[in-house]
Amino acid sequence: MIRVENLTATYGEVIAVDDISVNIDDGGFVLVVGANGSGKTTFVRHLNALLEPEEGTVEVDGIDVTADPIAARANIGMVFQQPRDQFVAATIGADVAFGPENLGLDREEVDRRVESALQAVNLDGRANDRIDELSGGEQARVAIAGALAMEPSYLVLDEPFTGLDQPARESVLDQLDALQADGTGILVVTHDLRDLHSRADRLLGMHDGRIVVDGPPREVAEELPGIDVRVVEGLR
């Protein structure tokens, strides 16, 4: 379980996250939705200690992320909006191996994890392909594989569909469905609910740094402040 208690984060005068308390169960599919600037990215970056809480606490599977950021990170995989910014190697296999290598695992275990992560995103046999020659959708899947190779309990994806066309989007969604079926908890930050609301079992709606809406997507989407009414109609 992820436990967030009284989390507050500021940038100078701006209160980006304002006293958030929320628990996120294992194995669920959660959407974090809200207008630009509502605090979504700042919130999720605290979940794996990319940002340290100024006030409040974040615990992942009983580990306080401030006390032990490395252990906490091992349980939460992050995939960023621009996967390109996340790659550290030239080829798919080397990139996906980077995380497990840094955990100090032996070669055999690293290879096993890379193979299994690439299988999970349908990129098996592609380890030697150059990342800069891949399509946007393939790059998104490499970024997911990199996070999966850490064998996390949760995967957090911040606007993972930016710049993807519909087939690529569907391919990433299929991977997420498969992962969830295998027990990985999924958190997706998005402003685009189109084909996500039916997959997710919970929607956290953010506004001005707070979670103002929390419930099953179909039931709560129209309570979201500032959300485009056409989006809500599409959900019915």
Closest contact distance (angstroms) between CB of 28 and ligand ADP is 21
Closest contact distance (angstroms) between CB of 158 and ligand ADP is 7
Please give the span between the terminal C-alpha atoms of the chain, in angstroms, as a whole number: 30
Of residues 47 through 86, those in contact with ligand ADP by CB under 6 A are none
Chosen residue from 13, 36, 85, 229 binding ligand ADP by CB under 6 A: 36
Contact between 139 and ligand ADP by CB under 6 A: the answer reads no
The SS3 call for residue 109 is helix
Contact between 229 and ligand ADP by CB under 6 A: the answer reads no
Chosen residue from 4, 30, 42, 80 binding ligand ADP by CB under 6 A: 42
* Sheet containing strand 154-158, strands side by side: 76-79, 154-158, 185-190, 29-34, 202-207, 210-215
Of residues 16 through 35, those in contact with ligand ADP by CB under 6 A are 16, 34
Q: For residues 16 and 10, is the Cβ–Cβ distance under 8 A? A: yes
Contact between 128 and ligand ADP by CB under 6 A: the answer reads no
Closest contact distance (angstroms) between CB of 208 and ligand ADP is 9
Give ∠ CA 151-50-97 in degrees, rounded to 5. Answer: 35
Q: For residues 79 and 160, is the Cβ–Cβ distance under 8 A? A: yes
The site for ligand ADP (CB under 6 A) is made up of 11, 14, 16, 34, 36-42
